Amino acid sequence: MPPQLQAQKQTCPRILQGDLCTLSPHVREFVETNITLCQPDFLHICDGSDEENRVIMMHMEEQGIVKKLRKYENCWLARTDPRDVARVESRTVIVTQEQRDTVPTPLNGEPSQIGQWMSPEEFNKAVALRFPGCMKGRTMYVIPFSMGPVGSPLSKIGVELTDSPYVVASMRVMTRMGTAVLNALGTGEFVRCLHSVGCPLPLKKPLVNNWPCNPEQTLIAHIPDRRLIVSFGSGYGGNSLLGKKCFALRIASRIAKDEGWLAEHMLILGITNPAGEKKYMAAAFPSACGKTNLAMLFPTLPGWKVECVGDDIAWMKFDDQGNLRAINPENGFFGVAPGTSAKSNPNAMETIMKNTVFTNVAETSDGGVYWEGMDQSLPEEITITSWKNKPWSSKDGEPCAHPNSRFCAPASQCPIIDPQWESPEGVPIEAIIFGGRRPDGVPLVYEAFSWQHGVFVGAAMRSEATSAAEHKAKVIMHDPFAMRPFFGYNFGLYLSHWLSMADRPNAKLPKIFHVNWFRKSPTAGFLWPGFGDNIRVLDWIFRRVNGDAGAMPSAVGYLPFHGSLNLQGLQGDVDLNELFSLNKEFWQKEVEEVRKYFTTQVNKDLPSEVTRQLDLLDQRVKQM
């Protein structure tokens, strides 16, 4: 922190649990410096125990922050202030000395779409404005946590200081947390994480839903050179559970660049064919593209089995034998509730029925939860209370659950959790899948011609999303590698880092694929049934990795030979010709859009190999 902030009068909080003297010198210095800055009344060093969690949940219930859901075992509901419901990209910044270290310099001074930069000077001013005395009257919790299995060579350790008990309870689910982590850390290095809801006591104005936050002053800052994350004003998960996107992607992607590995917004699944052969795959999808559903797939093809290693983040590193090994650095699922149902994801529904913290879902009068797309009919006598804590009916014209409402559940409860999900050495990745929601033009599946072409495919990812300005019209947004909001450094350098993996001696590079479950017919809706039938695409990918499945080159990549997709038992008619058709005019526009994006947004930092791959696509499209 800036020197002038450290010179404040030292405060001595009452220690509720733990002993500062048992902390390593680096951890103790981090804690004591921020006690001086934030001035909490109490200090609690978390041990991660069941008893600690029981007491914290009980205290939150007494304060009205959470409510126990009597229908389920140890499940809780939190309702936030309606102003604090999602990640705030406009207030999320990377702090570096030079702006170009964080984002490429866009052409003609256009605003960057792939990251927000803040200077160290502006950051110091922002901290000075927000943090002095911000925890007065509150408890500072010290959360030692491990991203990845404790002791794994692929794992990293962090320490989060927070004044939010909701964060403590959620971090206990989402990370390995407590005394075991401090023991594993010893005197080693760790990522420093400071979080405050920004509501010192006594309050200056009443809370909404008993949810402390300070949205006018929200700031989520990452200082990669110092391995530091500082978050203020929001209690919502993505802004306050600093092990998630802040550490696991933004800071970790920079650490990965420095150390020669990859930190990615990817699910990891294990897939076993009817002969008992198993492979692991990683896949990157933007939001609303079925990522968790794929990670927990219930296959419709007989004899196939899918098991989940992780549904959101993958840390991947080549081992000494050249295998790309991946771990899921998280310990839980922080999933979007609306749309999750027994049809779309039966395994997720089973996972969340105990030991889960729900946020901003609706509540039923019998002590259960409800949301749009749950596809469960309720008895007539059961009433619904919306996420706004008001009686709700389907005639109200607004959703009962917030569209970004969440469940936070332990991964170990997933009925198809992979036996190797906590393997310290990670699982070997043999295929990487990119995908997006493309209603037109993009085939169901294709394979990249090479690693370099695959990196281009990831860089050129686009997906349908609701326009932030209109909230009505659907627009196709660029979302390279599904990492647009999560890059921890210059996207051009990120692409160079991915390309450099091909130069590693003995590297067994995974094959790279692109999928699109969401292509539509002009008259009949989706062309592909999706959900459990996506196993048919994974089957083809599996066989392509083995060299068994037929494919033919096209302008965009290798497409399945006619008859090489297993359609046995598929319900209804599927128009494969339409699913795999390539329209020359569409792809000419696609090349034009991608070139414009690369030129304006990545500019001089675009690697020449990516430009070459775009030119090759352009040539192939012209020859269609």
Q: How far apart are CA 604 and CA 290, in angstroms?
A: 34
Closest CA to 418 of 537, 328, 290, 322: 328
Helix ranges (H only) for 352-461 are 451-459
Decide if 499 contacts 607 (C-beta within 8 A).
Answer: yes
Q: Among 494, 470, 469, which residue's Cα sits nearest to residue 480? A: 494
What is residue 206's DSSP assignment?
A: P
Residues 6+ apart with CB under 8 A from 96: 102, 117, 120, 223, 224, 225, 489
User: Which DSSP string corresponds to 550-610?
Assistant: -EEE-SSSEEEPTT-S--TT--S---HHHHH---HHHHHHHHHHHHHHIIIIIGGGS-HHH
**All residues at 6 or more sequence positions from 599 whose CB lies less than 8 Å from its CB, including other chains:** 107, 606
Q: How far apart are the first and last CA of the chain?
A: 58
CA 297/CA 307 separation, integer angstroms: 8
Strands 427-435 and 362-364: unpaired
Is residue 357 within 8 Å of 413, Cβ to Cβ? Answer: no
Judge whether 240 and 195 are in contact, CB under 8 Å: yes
285, 480 contact by CB (below 8 A):
no
Tokens of 1: 């922190």
CA distances to 209, 349, 373, 416, 530 from 344, rounded to whole Å, are 31, 9, 9, 15, 9
Paired tokens of 306: 């899918």
> What is the C-alpha to C-alpha distance for residues 189 and 354, in angstroms, rounded to an integer?
35
Assess contact for 110 and 390: CB atoms under 8 A: no
Per-residue DSSP letters for 32-63? HHHHHHH--SEEEE----HHHHHHHHHHHHHT
- Of the candidates 519, 483, 16, 561, the one whose C-alpha atom is nearest the C-alpha of residue 286 is 483
Query: For strand 76-78 and strand 357-359, is the pairing parallel, antiparallel, or unpaired?
Result: parallel
3-state secondary structure of 146: strand
- 444 φ, ψ (degrees, to nearest 5): -55, -45
Catalytic option among 38, 193, 199, 289: 289
Per the annotation, the verdict on 134 as an active-site residue is no
Q: Would you please indicate which residues are annotated as catalytic (active-site) residues?
A: 289
